[in-house]
Amino acid sequence: MLSRKSVPSSNGKTLPPSNQVDSQIQEQTPPPDNFSSMKPCSHIKSVLESKAKDNVFITYRQAVYIAQSISKDNIYTQKKDGAVVSNNKLVELKSKSLRCTECSLNNFHHNFICLQCPHVGCCSHHNHAYVHYKMNQHLFAIDSHNGLLYCFLCGDYINDPELEKIRIGMSNSSGYRSLDEEETEANYDNPTSKAVSGLKGFINLGSTCFMSCILQTLIHNPIIKYQFFNNDLHYFNCEHNYDYITNGAITEENACITCSIDNIFKNFFTSDDTEGFGMTNLLMTSWFKKKSLAGSQEQDAHEFWQFLLNEFHQDYHRVSKEKFDHDHCKCITHSTFSGQLESSIICSECNSTTKTTDPMIDLSLEIDHMKKTDHSLNLYDCLDLFTKEEKLDVMYKCQHCDNRSRAKKSLRIKKIPPVLSIQLKRFKHNLHNDTFSKIEIPIDIPLFLNITKYTSASISPELDGDKIFELFALVCHIGSVNTGHYIVIIKNGNGQWLKFDDSVISLISQEEVVKANAYLLFYITHKI
């Protein structure tokens, strides 16, 4: 995989890091009325003079067809026979044809269609479009957002008169041409033909809803999915997995959480079966690894999530033999969720500031002290409270002036994780009678979260795009502390919101998502 540093291209130019490519491409995108005036490049001209010309035209025509059919102006589209095609059908077509061949990302990232082969590559995060170009020297790609042609060697959008005729002809057409099935299959890989985006529920094996909800957040996390499908280091080198395959049974000695979840991923994305999945393998493994999980009593979903992340980390270092370095750990846990919190203590005597940095895997936000308000509460109110400057309860000895005083403390996010996990503290321990109660305060959930206000001033302005997050999963607890039930809401690759209630899956509206009584929230960085 490419590093996030700039990489020199074959023509000697320095190409931008992958997290800058998308925004730069958007800046270079010409307005439609200027597209025809763009000069053709010599690279595309030589390809169109070769024997590959006909195949290039077929691929370009199909890519423009898909990109234009999904545009915002086409809510409903008519076929030439007069039949109406709903926008949902067109979105479904895009999700199947324009999913990244390498990592299957399509909803959260910008994809490019190769003009010279069936490859579809993401243009953000892993930047598989650029990787494909470097490995295969396929210079040209079609922007899935607008149908424009991009040359990696030129580093810009390009045009050719013959290709422009195709684009204009399709733009002016009263309906979209229906490509025959044979032509479609000949030009595009369809990684979702067997399993539709891992859409499958879990059978409740006895108060296991807390497990199934957390598993769904992992399965539909594109970064974690990429890790499981593109790194076989663990599967082929885990001695626990070898022992399990040899003996055919899970034991306390060979129990491995990473192997168990790897098995679930492969089942969800490669099997034709859409029936509810029985996670007996993971259940047994979890019981062996953590005795308190054994039995049929309900458990806390957040604690189970923390348990899995800890196991991912331990399993990685057990197999890789790498020495642990928190800042550069490559395990699933740290490469996906790891960030840093900066604590600032201000001395009330000399006004000096002492800063310390601590690791962060998630944010746990208080909601119990937010009852008195004249407006409906939202997640930003919780973050305001979390980062609010407050006086310390104990006397603080300043390192600069050596005096003791009632200093003030505040928190900021110093290192932004790729996936931001948030817990809303809905369960309260009552010390006076040693019982637990549930806090039912409604908190509105933003679909997009801007954390700029809550980040440290030391973060580079170049990372401003990383401060916008998109909600893709939330876990909700229904009922009381002792007799409750967990459900999870997931955003799929088509932008639809699905509610998973164990093995039952149903569509819900965006309005229901915002008003959901969320307990755990999962946001993925949204590059702009």
Verify whether residue 485 is a known catalytic residue. Answer: yes
**Nearest Cα to Cα of residue 293 among 311, 312, 318, 275:** 311
Active-site annotation holder among 114, 209, 213, 329: 209
Structure letter (DSSP) for residue 433:
T
**Nearest Cα to Cα of residue 445 among 417, 466, 461, 424:** 424
CB 151 within 8 A of CB 183: no
Beta bridge partners of 343: 356, 411
- List, as own/partner pairs, every contact residues 163-169 make where C-beta atoms lie below 8 angstroms and the sequence separation is at least 24, other chains included: 163/44, 163/48, 163/57, 163/60, 164/35, 164/36, 166/57, 166/60, 166/61, 166/64, 167/35, 167/64, 168/36
Alpha-carbon distance 347 to 344, whole Å? 10
Amino acid identity of residue 142, one-letter, is I
Q: Tokens 């810009």 label which residue?
A: 156
Alpha-carbon distance 299 to 508, whole Å? 26
Amino acid identity of residue 276, one-letter, is G
Strands 427-430 and 435-438: antiparallel
Alpha-carbon distance 40 to 355, whole Å? 55
Burial of 266 (0-12, 13-18, 19+ CB in 10 A): middle
For residue 258, give the H/E element and its range.
helix 257-270
The token pair that represents 306 in the structure block: 């923390």
Q: 2: how many CB neighbours lie within 10 A of its CB?
A: 14
Alpha-carbon distance 257 to 260, whole Å? 5
Q: Is 402 helix (H, G, I), strand (E, B) or coil?
A: coil
Verify whether residue 209 is a known catalytic residue. Answer: yes
Alpha-carbon distance 524 to 225, whole Å? 13
Alpha-carbon distance 273 to 427, whole Å? 37
Q: Tokens 């959260």 label which residue?
A: 108
Q: Catalytic residue positions?
A: 209, 485
